[in-house]
Structure 1
């Protein structure tokens, strides 16, 4: 798999699978999963996000269609603190990807939205007027 612009870690690989840090099981290794596992490691090991507050591939209903978010981090009250959309490294992070995560957020109502392809990462904070792009990820529990 491609080297990403995310911290390296001792990733566990077996055949075509990677051991998921959160789900505690082997999952099929796709380029998007490679990005997701590295991003999870960043949030947990480098930004001190609590491992028990993550939900992966959360299914939601939006206008009669089912959507599935990549990473959700819950706040201490059970609301959505951070919503992350992961893409494969060769996928361009453009307006279409931002629209995708913004659509998910109409259901989830996260305080922070992020998109990553493992090479580039963008984070926004939701405000009353829309979204403000941030330069760095918030610490967990930051309001």
Structure 2
């Protein structure tokens, strides 16, 4: 898999029926190892191990329904009272982050009303903070530590 712009961690993989799987620490099971999953697992460990995010408040593959269409948020961080605080969208390292990616995460946010939106392809990471009062958003220079949210 590609080298990412994220800290390394102790990766747990296994081979089964000719396919490779990676341990998803949030779902507590092995998931097919795709380039996007490679990014997701590195990013989750980055948030937990380097930014202090509690894994108990993070969820992967959160299902949403928009206009009768079922969609899945890649990851969601919840507050202690289980309100969405951050939505995270991952792309494979070979996929450039584009306006389409931001449109996708903003669509998810019409339902979740999270305070932060994060997009990463493992190489480039973008985080914006939503200001609902002024109906605006601003990009942050870094992914905030959990205690600073």
Q: TM-score, normalised by structure 1?
A: 0.96
In structure 1, C-alpha distance between the alignment counterparts of 2:141 and 2:40, rounded to whole Å: 20
8 Å contact 2:60–2:75 — kept in the other structure? Answer: yes
Residue number in structure 2 paired with 1:11? 11
In structure 2, C-alpha distance between the alignment counterparts of 1:141 and 1:80, rounded to whole Å: 16
Residue number in structure 2 paired with 1:131? 137
In structure 1, C-alpha distance between the alignment counterparts of 2:25 and 2:47, rounded to whole Å: 11
Q: Which of 49, 59, 64 matches 2:63? A: 59
Between Structure 1 and Structure 2, whose CA radius of gyration is higher? 2
In structure 1, C-alpha distance between the alignment counterparts of 2:147 and 2:83, rounded to whole Å: 11
8 Å contact 2:92–2:121 — kept in the other structure? Answer: yes
Residue number in structure 1 paired with 2:122? 118
Deviation at 1:139, TM superposition (A): 2.3
Where in structure 2 are there 5+ consecutive unaligned residues?
A: none
Cα 1:141/1:105, change in 2 over 3 Å: farther
Moved over 6 A (4+): none
Deviation at 1:112, TM superposition (A): 0.2
Residue correspondences, number: 143
Residue number in structure 1 paired with 2:2? 2
